[in-house]
Amino acid sequence: MGRYVERFSAFDRVVHWTLAVAFLVLVISGLGLFAHTFFGYFSFFGGPEQGILAHKIAGVVFLIASLLLFFAHAKDSCSFDSDDAKWFAAFGGYLSKNEKEIPQGKFNAGQKLFALFSFVAALVLGVTGFIIWDPTAMARGMTQFSLMLHGLFFILIMMGAVVHIYLATIGNPGTVDGMLWGQVKKVWAKKHASKWFKEVAGED
Ligand code: HEM
C-alpha cells in the first residue's frame, strides 16, 4: 500500500497543460487587442499581425482543449448532490477557521462550478471569436455584439482562472501534484475528496 493514489491520466494532464499554455498566449496577445495600454505586448510575438495570428491559433487550441477536458471529466463535474449544497452553504470552509471538511467527490462543488463555467466561457469565447475572426465578414451589429461578449467573457474567465490557479497551488498545497505527476498523496485525497478516495482506493 503506497502513499499515493492515481488522480489524472496522462491524457488529462496533456490536455490541461495544453489548455493552460494556450490560455496564457491568449491573455498576452488578447491584451494587446483589448486596450491601447497593452499594445506593446504584441512585441512578444514580433508585431501586431503575428500577435493576432497567435491569438487565433491559440484560440482554436484552447477551444478544442476545453471541450476535451470538460468531456473527460463531465461525469464528475456535472453531478451535484446534498454534500455540494452543504459545501456551498459553508462556502467551502474558506471563510472559517473551522478545519472540518465536507465530504466531496473527485471535485468539490466550487471546482464543479468552475468546470461548468469555463466550459460555457470557452464556447462563448470560441463562437464570438469565429464571428470577429474577420471583422468585415459579418453584419456590423453581430460583430459589435460578439466583440462585447468576447470582452465580457474574457474578464470573467480571467477572474475565474486567477482564483482557480491560487486554489490549485498556494491555497491548497499538494493539489497541483495530481496535475503534474498524475498522483496525489492519500492524506490529501482523504482531506479534500474523501468520497472519491473511498471509491477509488476502497479505504476510509
Ligand atoms: C498555471 C495555471 C494552472 C494551474 C497551476 C492549474 C492547476 C490545476 C490543478 C492542480 C487541477 C486539478 C485539481 C484537482 O486535482 O482537484 C486543475 C484542474 C482543472 N483546471 Fe487548471 N490550472 C491552471 C490553469 C487553468 C486554466 C487557465 C483553466 C481554464 C481556463 C483551467 C481549467 C481547469 C479545469 C476545468 C480543471 C478541472 C477541475 C476543475 O474544475 O477545477 N486550469 N487545474
Which residues lie closer than 8 Å to 112 by C-beta, 6 or more apart?
76, 77, 78, 80, 84
Pocket probe for ligand 1: among 4, 68, 104, 164, the residue whose CB has the most ligand atoms within 8 Å is 164
Q: Can you read off the three cell numbers belonging to residue 78?
A: 456535472
Residues in contact with ligand 1 (CB, 6 Å cut-off): 7, 16, 19-20, 23, 69, 73, 107, 111, 114-115, 118, 157, 161, 164-165, 168-169, 175-176, 178-179
Question: In this predicted model, what pLDDT tens digit does every residue of 150-166 receive, in sequence order?
Answer: 999 999 999 999 999 99
pTM over 0.85: yes
* β-strand partners of 98: none
Q: Whose CA is nearest to atom 10 of ligand 1?
A: 176
Position 98 scores a pLDDT of 72
Ligand 1: centre distance to CA 126 (Å): 19
Domain-wise residue ranges, the chain: 4-201
80 pLDDT above the threshold of 90: yes
Question: In this predicted model, what pLDDT tens digit does every residue of 103-138 receive, in sequence order?
Answer: 999 999 999 999 999 999 999 999 999 999 999 999
Position 96 scores a pLDDT of 77
CATH level 3 topology of 4-201: Fumarate Reductase Cytochrome B subunit (1.20.950)
Ligand 1: centre distance to CA 202 (Å): 26
Q: Can you read off the three cell numbers belonging to residue 157?
A: 474567465
Question: In this predicted model, what pLDDT tens digit does every residue of 91-103 receive, in sequence order?
Answer: 888 887 776 789 9
Q: Provide, rounded to the nearest whole percent, the portion of the chain with pLDDT above 90.
A: 90
Do residues 188 and 175 lie in contact, with contact meaning Cβ atoms separated by under 8 Å? yes
Confidence class for position 204, pLDDT limits 50, 70, 90:
low
147 pLDDT above the threshold of 70: yes
Ligand 1: centre distance to CA 111 (Å): 9
How much is the mean pLDDT over the chain?
A: 95
Judged by DSSP in three states, 184 sits in: strand
70 pLDDT above the threshold of 90: yes
Position 35 scores a pLDDT of 87
Q: Whose CA is nearest to atom 41 of ligand 1?
A: 111
148 pLDDT above the threshold of 90: yes
Do residues 76 and 107 lie in contact, with contact meaning Cβ atoms separated by under 8 Å? yes
Pocket probe for ligand 1: among 73, 179, 180, 194, the residue whose CB has the most ligand atoms within 8 Å is 179
Position 126 scores a pLDDT of 98
